[in-house]
Amino acid sequence: MTERLPVKKTYKLYIGGAFPRSESGRTYEAEGQNVARASRKDVRDAVRAARAAQPGWAAATAYNRGQVLYRLAEMIEARLPEFAELCGGRDEVERAIDRIVWYAGWADKLPQVLGGSNPVAGPYFNFTVPEPTGVVAVLAPDDPPLLGLVTRVLPAVVGGNAVVAVASESRPLAAVELAEALATSDLPGGVVNLLTGFRTELAPVLASHMDVNAIDVTGADGLASDLERLAADNVKRVVHGRADAQSPWEIASFLELKTVWHPMGR
């Protein structure tokens, strides 16, 4: 009796809501699989997709953004055993799901906690609101492969930014799995873009890209200093986060503050 031969997955990039191979045609072997090895050109495509998607995402209602991210949690929960095999196990997946739910709930609360009105001397209603900084590059920590990525991407996305993230280099399969969950979560294509490949090759391209507003170097390993130097070319916000943090202040590090003077009068 012949056993059925399983259909194996091709591990691809996630750019603009689609799953392309690297334009370079390259792969590298990780966790026993051939994984796409993204190129500089793939980075640029991903940034372009992120830039295009960002205004629409930021303009969605806060309620809507919260629901979309909540649905991402639903999508992962449904595939929990599958995710568990690709990371540190069930516990890591559960924590990632719960973290997504936690951040989803922040979408419609941020301005109330991070902004406010300012009692200026004069006939103006003056208020400060947090706004997304724009396109955020994320270098996910190598470990834990799923929770680390979720921990760094979610605070950027919930605030209305679009993200280009470089997955764990040694354990990229969980990120590809996450891309599939993202694709079915109602998150507009391009809001989160996931690249697999070599960090030393991709990170400097992101750090020096003139259309990236902020870079999270939490997973940059020894590269952080060089990346910070490149980031100065367009005064990028450089975020040194923690691989396992959960706080509205993590969201705040990807936000700008806008202050408006609105006139008052009879």
Partner 1 sequence: MAELDRSGERAPAPPADWTYAPAPESRDVVRLRDRYGLYVGGEWLEPAETYQTISPASEEPLAVVGQATAADVDHAVGAARAAFADGWSSLPGSERAKYLFRIARILQERAREFAVLESLNGGKPIKESRDVDLPLAAAHFFYYAGWADKLEYAFPNRRPRPVGVAGQIIPWNFPLLMLAWKIAPALACGNTVVLKPAETTPLTALLFCDVLRQAELPPGVVNIVTGDGRTGAALVEHDGVDKIAFTGSTEVGKAIQRRLAGSGKKLTLELGGKAANIVFDDCALDQAVEGIVNGIYFNQGHVCCAGSRLLVQESIYEPLVDKLKRRLETLRVGDPLDKNTDVGAINSATQLEKIRELVESGQEEGAEIYQPPCRLPEKGYWFAPTVFTNVAQSYRIAQEEIFGPVLSVLTFRTPDEAVEKANNTPYGLSAGVWTEKGSRILWMAQRLRAGVVWANTFNRFDPTSPFGGYKESGFGREGGLHGLEPYLRFDE
63 belongs to the binding site for partner 1 (CB under 8 A): no
244 belongs to the binding site for partner 1 (CB under 8 A): no
Of 150 and 214, nearer to partner 1 (C-beta) is: 214
* Distance between CA atoms of residues 69 and 232, nearest Å: 32
Q: Directed axis angle between helix 62-78 and helix 147-158, to 10°?
A: 160
195, 201, 140: which is closest to 168 by C-alpha? 140
Of 105 and 116, nearer to partner 1 (C-beta) is: 116
Of 51 and 79, nearer to partner 1 (C-beta) is: 51
Handedness of CA 96, 221, 137, 32 (dihedral sign): negative
Pattern 180-219, partner 1, x by CB under 8 A: ---------------------------------x------
232 belongs to the binding site for partner 1 (CB under 8 A): yes
Q: Which residues contact 225 (CB under 8 A, 6 or more apart)?
A: none
Least distance to partner 1, CB of residue 195, Å: 23
> Which of residues 69, 231, 241, 254 is near partner 1 by CB under 8 A?
231
257 belongs to the binding site for partner 1 (CB under 8 A): yes
221 belongs to the binding site for partner 1 (CB under 8 A): no
Number of residues that bind partner 1 (CB under 8 A): 35
Least distance to partner 1, CB of residue 191, Å: 19
237 belongs to the binding site for partner 1 (CB under 8 A): yes
225 belongs to the binding site for partner 1 (CB under 8 A): yes
Pattern 99-138, partner 1, x by CB under 8 A: --------------x--x-xxxxx-x-x-x----x-----
> Which of these ranges, 135-143, 155-163, 173-181, 241-249, lies near partner 1 under the rule CB under 8 A?
241-249
C-alpha 121: how far from its chain's center? 40
> Which of these ranges, 24-32, 67-75, 197-205, 244-252, lies near partner 1 under the rule CB under 8 A?
244-252
Least distance to partner 1, CB of residue 4, Å: 52
Binding site for partner 1 (CB under 8 A): 113, 116, 118-122, 124, 126, 128, 133, 213, 224-229, 231-235, 237, 245, 247, 249, 256-263
